[in-house]
Chains A and B, each alone.
Chain A
């Protein structure tokens, strides 16, 4: 049996992480001021394929209940809210993001990171996830708020692209969202301003794509799962702003420098894996350490493409702002793509990012991600011969994180990968002799 290596922890805290902390701190201050002092109006939205550009164009404040929920989990304060929601009638089996958020929403909306304002508009960008519809329907009932269901037709055609009618339908709805924002702010849309914001989104998307391509390097300069989440908050909350552009310039420069120096997130990169599924926010550190101890680095992740999929060539087009926002929502994010398109996305990651394995983190809360991942495993192991590990926990609910069990599974998997590597190295050496 191979010796279990001692735990290796990443100590890396670059400029990017500091800047993220500072910018997100400012964002949450703005959110809190809206709640406590009535400065500005909040628009609730969902992360998947979010049309944040429209909200920025009206200087409204984007508030994402998913980010609030994941922050609650990360700060280990989700469980009391989940329990409160369950007391109100939510099931053990309902998505815990929703339960944590509802529990928080129905109280004083004070959290360890911000006070959450009531929504002036509840914009349900229904991009893939069906629970989104329920979630915002519930919030609207609880606060008697204005709800708009922005319906995004799912990618259901074998071609994998939306039809012209799908695009028209979304653009027409975006125009209605603009009208709703105009009523809310008493201002007409400044089209030139929208174009400028979309242009910044385009720049941001292109930089993000370049950053993600850097993990094709050996070693990978950062972990495309655990470090990507650092970059995702600015991508959703600050996309389209100057600040957001500055963040991504800094991140890109820093990561390019790491590539030049041959540095990775771990002292030694021994395994490269692709990971599917959202992270267990309440136990991110413990989860990361399970992989770090094996020198395993995530070189690509589907989770980092929930809000948008930029690494395969898409970027916003300032000359066609509404059409490109529609394209982003319809086609260029993982959640609105069908399950088989996700298999192909993962396959590209494994092949083009030179990964040794696929790890599927199956979370109970998010069935959009998880339902059917056993079939995905079947495809990767049987059809493509890619070593695949399927593990289960949750993204929010701490009751579903069984650390010892997960550790055993991860250890057994990498042990067997290591064994295969040794056998292969032995065979190669034998062949060369």
Chain B
């Protein structure tokens, strides 16, 4: 049996150094396999998988990659992940990819897709426009057409048809993966002392880099062990964290937040890979199921504008559901969706009298003292006031 401690220490270092090395290791043993990189936030990975390709999350480069070229293409006021992703490409670190898919999440990410198209002519670059009209009865038809269009593109790349059967199987596979990640988060929710934020992060994030089958096997081994753990709760405040749905904070920062006195009961790290609060149906037309699920079963997010219910209501529900003491907004610097959301969250949280703290981070940050001190002060004000 592999212990959770072993799994976490096996993967933590590559995740911090150069996450995509894990994929390159995999590719070395399967030179003919095709791989499609998925920029955040959500990608319908089932379509890639059903074409016989491996979808992997290209979610920035962490804080160990020096940006030497990309900063002459994207200005100082553009977020770090856009630049680090381009830097990976410009320094030939994405050569193992056959395709890359971007989405309509924000303006810089959209332009990055075009910059990729121009700079890497050998790479298939796709772009999915996710609908922002969640109320029209016609939206699902549009979405279905969009998924059909992208499927044709993947079929061309894979030289293989995406059959309904293959797609249903892929949906079932990723349902299992997502269900296990929900179980993981349920453990943290109920007993945060038994699963640290970093452990939970590592166990989740590797799911964006390994084949789903491998990730499922790892989680199936880890979850029963975590259920056996019986740590004594520490004197910490309970928080839910919001705002890190795209660029990812360094693991040292997460450790620092916890050490400063917080149990992070829920968060939105790599939320695109945990996009559904329940399984996607596997009977009937699978592509329609996938489209419907986006419209009606997906989680709320700063990059999805659902006029049916305000995002802040969802955040407050999440807070109440976790029986948390406070909300921690951890937004990437220059991330317009997260920073705009904060203004609405702040208003709603104040109205409800919910304590909150807003911190900005960058994936490339190295110094965590300031963030840690801010959280410590915040925690102290909550524990002793």
| A371 vs B74: C-alpha distance when bound (angstroms) | 6
The CA-CA distance from A90 to B344 in the complex, in Å, is 9
Neighbouring A residues of B310 by C-beta, 8 Å: 141
Using known A-B contacts A88-B343, A133-B305, determine if residue A169 contacts B75 with beta carbons closer than 8 Å: no
Kindly provide the distance from the CB of A37 to the nearest chain B CB, expressed in whole angstroms.
30
Q: Of A94, A157, A169, A368, which one neighbours B142 at CB under 8 angstroms?
A: A169
Q: With A and B bound together, what is the CA distance between A375 and B112 in angstroms?
A: 10
What's the least CB distance linking B343 to chain A, in Å?
Answer: 4
Q: Which of B124-150 contact A (CB under 8 A)?
A: 126-129, 131-136, 138-139, 141-142, 145-146, 149
For residue B208, CB closer than 8 A to chain A, the reply is: no
Known contacts A137-B305, A147-B307, A371-B78; is A88 also within 8 Å of B129 by CB? no
Query: Does A379 count as interface, using CB distance less than 8 angstroms?
Result: yes
Q: Is the CB–CB distance between B305 and A370 below 8 Å?
A: no
B377 proximal to A (CB < 8 A): no
Shortest CB-to-CB span from B113 to chain A, Å, is 8
Interface presence of A364 (CB below 8 A): yes
Interface residue B214 (Cβ < 8 Å from any Cβ of A)? no
Cβ contact within 8 Å between B75 and A165: no
- Name which of B60-68, B258-266, B334-342 contacts chain A: B334-342
Note all chain B residues with C-beta closer than 8 A to A102.
343
**Residues on the A chain within 8 Å of B149, using CB:** 157, 163
Binds A, one of B50-58, B114-122, B192-200: B114-122
Contacts of A374 in B (CB 8 A): 71-75
Task: Given A129-B107, A340-B117, decide whether A172 and B307 contact each other with a Cβ distance below 8 A.
Answer: no
CB within 8 Å of B: which of A165-205? 165-166, 168-169, 172-173, 176
Closest chain A CB from B291 CB (angstroms): 12
On whether the beta carbons of B132 and A93 are closer than 8 Å, the reply is no
| Chain A proximity mask over B322-354: 1 for CB below 8 Å, otherwise 0 | 000000000001101101111110110000000
- B60 to A: closest C-beta gap in Å: 16
A residues 24-72 near B (Cβ < 8 Å) are none
B281 adjacent to chain A (CB < 8 Å): no
Q: How long is the Cα–Cα vector from A147 to B347 in the complex, in angstroms?
A: 19
Interface string of A139-176 (1 = CB under 8 A from B): 01100000111110110110000010110110011001
Look across to chain A and name the residue whose beta carbon is closest to the beta carbon of B143.
A169
Interface string of A327-355 (1 = CB under 8 A from B): 00000000000111001000000000000
B residues apposed to A, CB below 8 Å: 71-75, 77-78, 82, 104-108, 110-115, 117-119, 126-129, 131-136, 138-139, 141-142, 145-146, 149, 305, 307, 310, 333-334, 336-337, 339-344, 346-347, 358, 360
Interface residue ranges, A against B (CB under 8 Å): 85, 88-91, 93-95, 98, 102, 126, 129-131, 133-134, 137-138, 140-141, 147-151, 153-154, 156-157, 163, 165-166, 168-169, 172-173, 176, 338-340, 343, 362, 364, 366-368, 370-375, 378-379, 392
20 contacts between A and B (CB under 8 A): A89-B346, A130-B105, A137-B307, A138-B340, A156-B127, A168-B138, A169-B138, A169-B141, A169-B142, A172-B136, A172-B138, A173-B138, A343-B118, A367-B111, A368-B107, A371-B74, A372-B108, A374-B71, A375-B73, A375-B119
